[in-house]
Amino acid sequence: MKSIRNRKILFIVPANEFYDIQYKKNYIIPKSVPYGVLSIASYLQEYSKNCIDVKILDLSSNYMESKEIKESIKQCLKEFKPDLVGVSVLTSLLYPYIKKYFDIVKEFDKDIFTFIGGIVATNLYKQLLDEFENIDAACYAEGEIPILELSEAENINELVDNHVSWITRNSIKAGKIPQLTFVEDLDQLPFIDFSLIDLSKYGARGWQVNADLKKGEDRVLPIHTTRGCPFNCVFCCAAKTHGKKIRQMSAKRVIEHVKNMIDNYGMDILSIDDDQFLATKERSKEILRELAPFKLRLEAESGLSVRFIDDDMARLLKEAGLKSANLAIESGSKYVLKEIIDKPLTLDEIRSAVKNLRKYDFTVKAYLVLGLPGETDEHRRETVDFVNEVGFDMSSIFTATPFHGSRLYDICVKNGYINKEDAITSMPSAFHSVISTPEYSAEHISEQAFYINLNLNFVNNYNMRIGKLNDAKAFFYNVATKYPEHAFAHYYLARACEKLGESGELIESHDRKFNEIIDSDKEWKKYSLLFKLI
């Protein structure tokens, strides 16, 4: 290996090979900026005492076949000649594909030190090191400090065997329990060096790409202003990676990051990807007041903490450039929120937040999770009734997924609700549950989720009910454009156009498409009969 002063580190972001036909049919596959890897790479460049050369190979930004992936890695290795290669794995859906990345690297040069990081490394390090011989070490939790210390180590093998946040086969045998190594003061994080990736390849953060984005013209960049979460939601594993204590970047430092992204990278849209951006209300309000003069558009696809949205917060969010407020309400059942999810949120707090947001003309979306063990069909009906009562422009519905590191995973494995191996590659999806309890099968939950999606977003669409027909039409058009085989999108787009008094030809074309779909697809015909559309 080269001298410490001339080391080269390559970070690989794997391709999203796990997306199957069903997922592609129901979702826009996101191409999100790899913020975590960029943060680590920027941290190394800022604080390394040595001359460390860093490169990022992001294979997730393009749709690639296995052969293309191999050739891209081999070409990068040949040109860059790295001494260390790290693979960032943020979802266990990639588990079946991880091995080949390390095999390709070691086949090129067995002396390259390889490591894995990300959520999967934190929660599955024993299994990874046991199954994949070409992984030399796993980084536990946040990577900035451990990887900086790795890059500067005189003896890399000695460091990873003894460092509290590195795991190796030797340290596992010695009984090591890995510990978190955090950047305690987030103001010490350097500006993100977005020049390490090709920003032209990335778009909006979420799968539901906003209809009013100018295709190819808007520059969406993410920021994380907090780390850590004190809450204990059953399905979440965020605290495993970032800890229970919330660490916050100061308002002043957040604005400095924003100015840098505007001046150096032409940012138009700021995506706030925090789990708990609003947790300290005065800090959040100060940031929003400082953001307003930039005239940016804000996105918060990770969802906003409902309980912190008072009238003043709603106004400041609007003035800062947020148009769509995504609320992580999870359920409309008091019992499910309190007794199953353990979420510190009440139905009255949700009602109050939505009322405050409506005052400032937000598009308000609900994030819902269905199929948690202990939830009944009656609880799901309560959720539907509550959402219809409160009124949301859209409801994003997901079936519960037992992520490693979450209490839900432990519950499911302990009670045999999911095969332990299948849990590794379970897809977070609106239409594909993987949890079967004695009361409800995974198939039943999947059907319920799809039915509720059609009910809330189409049959009882909020904007259609209150007469905001142009907003309803925009939603139906967006869905019909992205998913041309979505029967209900065409049917209700025709109905919205009809109510707006638009041309008969347009209405007829979507009605015709609706009829073509239900004539050729038994599932769509079943739901059309169920909701009495035919």
Kindly report, residue by residue over 328-346, the tens digit of the pLDDT. Answer: 999 999 999 999 999 999 9
Q: Pick from 92, 96, 112: which is nearest to 104 by CA? A: 112
CA dist 512 and 503 (Å) reads: 14
Q: Residue 242 and residue 140: Cα distance in Å, rounded? A: 10
Q: Classify strands 226-227 and 53-58 as parallel, antiparallel or unpaired.
A: unpaired
Rounded distance between C-alpha atoms, residue 497 and residue 473, angstroms: 7
pLDDT, position 211: 42
In contact, 143 and 36? CB cutoff 8 Å: yes
Assigned token pair, 392: 């949301």
Quick: pLDDT tens for 94-120. Answer: 888 999 999 999 999 999 999 999 999
Question: Considering only CA atoms, which of 130, 133, 162, 135 is closest in space to residue 146?
Answer: 162
For tokens 């536990």, what's the residue? 140
Q: Which of 324, 451, 326, 441 lies closest to 384 in space, CA to CA?
A: 451
On the CB side of 267, CA atoms within 13 Å amount to: 28
- Global pTM value: 0.90
Q: Look at the block and give the residue holding tokens 């407020």.
A: 325
Please list the ranges in the chain whose pLDDT falls under 50.
21-22, 206-216
Task: Please give the distance of CA 197 from its chain centroid, rounded to a whole number.
Answer: 19
Which residues, at least 6 apart from 264, have a Cβ–Cβ distance to it below 8 Å?
A: 194
pLDDT of residue 71: 96
